Amino acid sequence: MRNLLFSVVAVLLLGSFVFRQFVEPPVDENKEKVLIQTMLARLEQLHYKPVEIDDHFSEDVFDLYLDRLDGGKRFFTQEDVDQLKVYRDLIDNESMEGNYEFFNLSQDLLAKAIEKTQKYYQEILEKPFDLRKEETFESDGEKRTFAANDAELKEYWRKILKSRVIAKVADKLEEQEKAEQSKDAKVDESSGDVVKKDIVELEKEARKKTLKDFNRWYKRIHKRKREDNLSMYLNSITNVFDPHTGYFKPIDKENFDIGMSGSLEGIGAQLSSDGEETKITNVVVGGPAWKEGELEADDVIQLVEQEGEEPVDIAGWDINDVVKIIRGKKGTKVILHVKKKDGSVKKIKIVRDLVVMEDSFAKSLIIQEKDGQKYGYIKLPKFYVDFNRKDGKSCAVDMEAEIQKLKAAGVHGIAIDLRNNGGGSLRDVVTIGGLFIPEGPIVQVKPRVRRARVLADEDPETQYNGPLVILVNSFSASASEILAAAMQDYDRAIIIGSKSTYGKGTVQSFLSLDRGAPKNVQPLGDIKLTTQKFYRINGGSTQLKGVESDVVVPDDFTYLDKGERETEHPLPWTQIDPVPYKSYYTIKNKKEVVRNSQKRIANNPVFDKVNENALRYKKFKDSTVIDLEFDTYRAYEKMQETKAKEFEDIMTEIPNFEVTNMTIDLPEIQRDSSNIQKNEDWIKNVKKDPYIFESLKVLEDIKQ
Q: For the chain, first and last CA: distance in Å?
A: 45
Mean pLDDT over 352-362 rounds to 75
pLDDT digits (tens, 9 = 90+) for 550-578: 999 999 999 999 899 999 999 999 999 99
Q: Which of 111-120, 249-258, 587-596, 694-703 has the lowest mean pLDDT?
A: 249-258
- Tens-place pLDDT, residues 180-238: 776 666 666 666 566 678 999 999 999 999 999 999 888 878 877 888 889 999 999 99
Is residue 699 a contact partner of residue 406, using CB atoms and an 8 Å limit?
A: no
Q: Give the residue among 339, 332, 342 at the shortest CA–CA distance from 303.
A: 339
pTM of the model: 0.81
Radius of gyration of the chain (CA): 27
Side chain identity at 505, as an amino acid letter?
G
- Check pLDDT > 50 for residue 109: yes
Please provide the size of the chain in residues. Answer: 704
Q: Is the pLDDT of residue 257 over 60?
A: no
Q: What is the mean pLDDT of the chain?
A: 89
pLDDT at 2: 34
- Start-end of CATH 3.90.226.10 domains in the chain: 361-623+659-701
For residue 360, name the pLDDT band (cuts at 50, 70, 90): confident
pLDDT at 499: 96
Question: What is the average per-residue pLDDT within 611-630?
Answer: 94
The confidence band for 419, taking pLDDT boundaries of 50, 70 and 90, is very high
User: How are beta strands 440-447 and 278-283 bridged, if at all?
Assistant: unpaired
Rounded to an integer, the average pLDDT of 356-361 is 70
Using DSSP, state whether 454 is helix, strand or coil: strand
Q: Give the DSSP H/E element, type plus range, for residue 252.
A: helix 250-261
- How many whole angstroms separate alpha carbon 94 and alpha carbon 86? 13
Task: Say yes or no to pLDDT of 318 above 80.
Answer: no
Least confident range from 12-21, 182-191, 354-363, 507-516: namely 12-21
Per-residue pLDDT at 15 = 28
Main-chain dihedrals φ then ψ at residue 625, nearest 5 degrees? -90, 125
Q: State the average pLDDT over residues 336-352.
A: 91
State the pLDDT at residue 327: 80
According to the CATH classification, is domain 361-623+659-701 in 3.90.226.10?
A: yes
In this structure, CATH architecture of domain 250-351: Roll (2.30)
Q: Using 50, 70 and 90 to split pLDDT, how confident is the model at 291? A: confident
Residues of the chain with CATH 2.30.42.10: 250-351
Q: In 3-state terms, what secondary structure has residue 443? A: strand
- Collect all residues with Cβ–Cβ distance below 8 Å to 563 and sequence separation of at least 6: 474, 500, 501, 502, 503, 544, 546
pLDDT, average across residues 652-656: 96
For residue 69, name the pLDDT band (cuts at 50, 70, 90). Answer: very high
Q: With pLDDT > 90 as the criterion, what percentage of the chain qualifies?
A: 71
The more confident residue out of 264 and 671 is: 671
What's the rounded mean pLDDT across residues 310-326? Answer: 82
Question: Average of pLDDT values for 637-642?
Answer: 91
CB 575 within 8 Å of CB 540? yes
Residue 267 binned pLDDT confidence (cut-offs 50, 70, 90): confident
In this structure, what are the phi and psi dihedrals at residue 484, rounded to the nearest 5 degrees? -60, -45
More confident residue, 219 or 16: 219
Q: Looking at residue 263, what is its pLDDT?
A: 47
Q: Among 89-103, 186-200, 400-414, whose mean pLDDT is lowest?
A: 186-200
CB 304 within 8 A of CB 334: yes
Q: Report the share of the chain in percent with pLDDT over 70.
A: 90
